[in-house]
Structure 1
Amino acid sequence: MSITLDFDAKQLAKSKQLSLHYLPAKIQGDGEANVEKCFNNYTRENPDYGSGILTNSLRGYPLLGQQANVPSGYKGLVLQETEKPLIDTAERQLRLTGQFDEFIYWNYDKVPSNADGYRQALLMTDVAEALMYQPIKQEDLDAEIQRHKESKKENS
């Protein structure tokens, strides 16, 4: 199976900025939703749970949320499949519908924390960057050797 991304840098630059919510729900539908009127109007900050914690509800279930930023050096994109494939091995094509720099992350009746699976996944971008192989420049190597020699002299 292959996936084709149907956009380029020009489309990315012109794409609209989206307001996003990451909800712990599976909704069977892909139609329009008046999120501003039916959801955002009921979002409130609740200092009882801590600084920056938001409250709302979805279908009677209490939600606790917090503003989250896309990690530095990354861009949040919303992609939509142009046509559902009939079989899993068919080629898939995704098109750009918008981008985002921040979003609200929601939990059911639980204060968002770094223990949440989604938050841990976001922290993995830092781990991946630290583990990424990058060649060491000769001048950086020379500077580190010099620093080590000076440190050795001071300790002697």
Structure 2
Amino acid sequence: MSITLDFNGKNIAKSNELELHFLPAKIDGDGEANVDHYFNNYTREATEFGRGILTNALRGYPLMGEKLKVPEGYSGLVLQETEKPISNSSDRQLRLTGVFKDFTYWNYDKVPSNGDPYRQALFLADVAQALSQPISEDDLEAEIVRNKENNKESP
């Protein structure tokens, strides 16, 4: 199975900026929704839980969320499958439908925290960048000396 992405860098710059929400729900349908009228109008800031924490409800279930930014140097892309695959091993083609710089991440009745998978995924971009930075010989030698000193001090 192969996946083909149908866009180029120029398309990203020209794509429309989307307001994106990640909801902890499966909604059977892919049609238009009047999100501004039926959802965004009811979003409130819940300052009692901390700065930037939002509340709302979906189908009677309380939601708590926050806006998360796409890490510096990255772009958020929304890709849509052009045709439904015949089987799991079929080739797939995705096309760019929009871009985003931030999105609202929602939990059911739980304040967002560093333990949430989406927050951890965004944090991994920073970890990967730190791990991929080159280390100079001077930094390496200084770290070796620091480790030797720490080993001498510990019993």
Q: Which TM-score bucket, shorter chain as reference? A: 0.7 to 0.9
1:129-149 deviation line (CA, Å, top 9, x unaligned) = 2233x656xxx54xx27x95x
2:131, 2:39 → 1: CA distance? 40
2:116, 2:14 → 1: CA distance? 33
Range moving further from structure 2, 65-74 or 114-123: 114-123
In the superposition, the TM-score normalised over structure 1's length comes to 0.85
Unaligned ranges ≥5, structure 2: 147-155
2:118, 2:11 → 1: CA distance? 28
Identity %: 65
Residue pairs, 1:53-92, within 5 angstroms = 53-92=53-92
Task: For residue 25 of structure 2, give the secondary structure of its aligned residue in structure 1.
Answer: coil
CA apart distance, 1:97: 0.3
CA apart distance, 1:73: 1.4
CA apart distance, 1:40: 0.4
Provide the aligned length of Structure 1 versus Structure 2. 144
Letter in 2 for 1:25: A
Aligned-residue RMSD, C-alpha? 2.0
Q: What is the aligned partner in structure 2 of residue 21 from structure 1?
A: 21
1:54, 1:98 → 2: CA distance? 24
Letter in 2 for 1:86: I
Letter in 2 for 1:13: A
Q: What is the aligned partner in structure 1 of residue 33 from structure 2?
A: 33
In the superposition, the TM-score normalised over structure 2's length comes to 0.85
Residue pairs, 1:98-137, within 5 angstroms = 98-132=98-132
CA apart distance, 1:104: 0.7
Unaligned ranges ≥5, structure 1: none
1:36, 1:83 → 2: CA distance? 29
Letter in 2 for 1:41: N
1:85-110 deviation line (CA, Å, top 9, x unaligned) = 11111110000000000111110000
1:60, 1:10 → 2: CA distance? 42
2:2, 2:131 → 1: CA distance? 27
